[in-house]
Chain A
């Protein structure tokens, strides 16, 4: 019961957050330089045409009315049309966002596969050579900018060894996975470092807890103690951190997609900012912010499920 009411309360909190996100996007987009009418018509636009376009877009209305139109359009799923690509923003997002989501999901998976076993090894051999070398390697990984890691992996494994393609997205699902492997690895490294640092500390903290001593005193096999008692409790703070890092991961995807020339939402974002394609910028910012908010919601729910005390 406490769990359900927790989810309900958490859902209510989403409303002011989403409202604030909408206001921020509305204000930010209206501050973008250059007016959309001349962006649509080009430099040699006539005044009459500019006035007509502004009226069509509702830009001749007072700001509060514009905000009302903005809300109504979003509620009906109408995000406007791209100025340069001449297609609806909603279809562009539907086209490009899955690529980015696939990239970030792969990156998250690789990060977990790297972080969990290594954190375990480091925590159980605390202060020894294995621990220190794992921590040292990840400390370096944490200090490397995404675009630099990407450039080096691309050069070594793409251009020199030719194990992986040097960019693009491929055509079939397996081909997608193959094309996205290097970019996902690029993105995964810093996340793995953050997760592994946190998980190592958490495992060390939990191993000393009294209930672990108790489990040992009961004579439980140490493997069972490790998986059921230590790992489950150590994962709680790591899950929270993981959720909080999704935003960073999506931000990193923007750069990774640029370095590897992947036709995803991040690349589209950068192109649209350079091209002043403001409906696209607006739609993408909204989509990304909503995804991150929902991830936070999911994180909190998973956390409450792992640790029922959170829900109270």
Chain B
């Protein structure tokens, strides 16, 4: 991290020109924008009702009438892929925002306090990362019962630790810098120093990680959907759709392949955007 003594926030905000933005940021941003639009108004783009069954058109291959084909219930795969944006983008946001907020607050406090608090937090982090994340989430979902709500709880219980660790490390560096000492000398309260001055300079890695985390959340959500522990059928969710098609891979590949492509494109959107954001914030410093 840089060790400048600059004051946080307002002074260094420069006007951004589109031409100067990293290509990855623009490409990722466009994918995410399109994904958001599909997630908010899927019916405007989906050619059919995602759960309407058409027994006259079971397992039809891709055609003009059904561009992505139909599944074993005669449901239109394209319509289901589009409607799944609503659930999967919701997973990306809901599964990460809570952990982000809690992790940032706890991390900032722990990083500033140091000493015993930081040592205890360090052991909690060690213990949490000692469990394979997926196994722990599956175990918690098994305790609480399958479904998206319980998945958010399971991810939330664990996920904040990663943000906390990032922020605690950064705050620990920032609090030793001159501007923090200046704040203390001015008689500012610790709360004001932490949240108004240190945090804006310490939050960048957490924000960049947030983007990666949203991509990971979609992978996790669809994995649980595939295992039958996440979104429940007949809901349109990419993991559920891939599970629906897994026994037809040799005869009707389109049921599973297209939802997978949607996962890859959306994940790519988040990671490109995250990379671009990291690059942008790095050059600004």
Contacts and interface: CB of A to CB of B under 8 A. Distances in A.
Interface of A: 13, 16-17, 20-21, 24, 28, 31-33, 139-140, 142-148, 151-152, 154-155, 159-160, 244, 247-248, 250-252, 254-255, 258, 266, 269-270, 273-274, 281, 285, 288-290, 292-293, 296
Contacts of A254: 132, 134-135, 138
A255 B256 contact: no
B264 A292 contact: no
B219 interface: yes
Interface in B237-251: 239, 242, 246, 249-250
Contact of A159 (B242, B250, B265, B271): B250
Given A143-B271, A155-B253, A247 B143 contact: no
Contact of B249 (A139, A144, A159, A255): A159
A33 B142 CA distance: 8
Contacts of A31: 143
A260 to B, nearest CB: 12
Interface of B: 123-124, 126-127, 129-136, 138-140, 142-143, 145, 215, 219, 222-223, 226-227, 239, 242, 246, 249-250, 253, 256-257, 260, 263-268, 271-272
B142 A13 contact: no
B156 to A, nearest CB: 15
Given A144-B264, A248-B132, A292-B130, A160 B250 contact: yes
Nearest to B242: A148
A281 B134 contact: no
Contacts of B249: 151, 154-155, 159
B227 A17 contact: no
Contacts of B127: 17, 20-21, 24, 289
Contacts of B265: 143
A266 B134 CA distance: 11
B153 to A, nearest CB: 12
B139 A281 contact: yes
27 contacts: A20-B126, A20-B127, A21-B131, A24-B131, A28-B140, A32-B142, A33-B145, A143-B268, A144-B260, A144-B267, A145-B223, A145-B263, A151-B249, A151-B256, A159-B250, A247-B130, A248-B132, A248-B133, A258-B227, A270-B227, A273-B138, A273-B142, A289-B130, A292-B130, A293-B126, A293-B130, A296-B126
Report, nearest first, the 9 A-B pairs whose CB atoms are least far apart.
A143-B267, A251-B134, A251-B132, A20-B127, A155-B249, A273-B142, A148-B260, A250-B132, A17-B126
Given A155-B253, A285-B135, A21 B140 contact: no
A296 B130 contact: yes
Contacts of A290: 130
Contacts of B242: 147-148, 151
Do most interface residues of chain B lie in helix, strand or loop, or is the interface mixed?
helix
Contact of A20 (B123, B136, B227, B263): B123
Contacts of A252: 134
Contact of B129 (A13, A247, A269): A247
A270 B124 contact: no
Contacts of B222: 145, 147-148
A21 B227 contact: no
B134 to A, nearest CB: 3
Contacts of B271: 139, 142-143
A251 B224 CA distance: 12
Contact of B130 (A21, A145, A269): A21
A264 to B, nearest CB: 13
A24 B129 CA distance: 12
B135 A28 contact: no
Nearest to B263: A145
Contacts of A293: 126, 130
Contacts of A251: 132-135
B121 to A, nearest CB: 12
Nearest to A14: B126
A131 B260 CA distance: 26
B246 A151 contact: yes
A155 B257 CA distance: 11
Contacts of B123: 13, 16-17, 20
Contacts of A33: 143, 145
A268 to B, nearest CB: 12
A292 B131 contact: yes
B73 to A, nearest CB: 19
Contacts of B142: 32, 273-274, 281
A146 B253 CA distance: 17
B227 A143 contact: no
Contact of A250 (B135, B143, B260): B135
A258 B224 CA distance: 12
Contacts of A139: 268, 271-272
Nearest to A147: B226
A177 B153 CA distance: 39
Contact of A145 (B140, B239, B272): B239
Given A142-B267, A144-B264, A255-B134, 9 more contacts: A13-B126, A24-B127, A139-B272, A144-B267, A160-B250, A251-B132, A255-B227, A281-B142, A292-B132
Nearest to A141: B264
User: Which of A151, A155, A274 is most buried by chain B, counting CB atoms within 10 A of its CB?
Assistant: A151
A255 B268 contact: no
Nearest to B215: A143
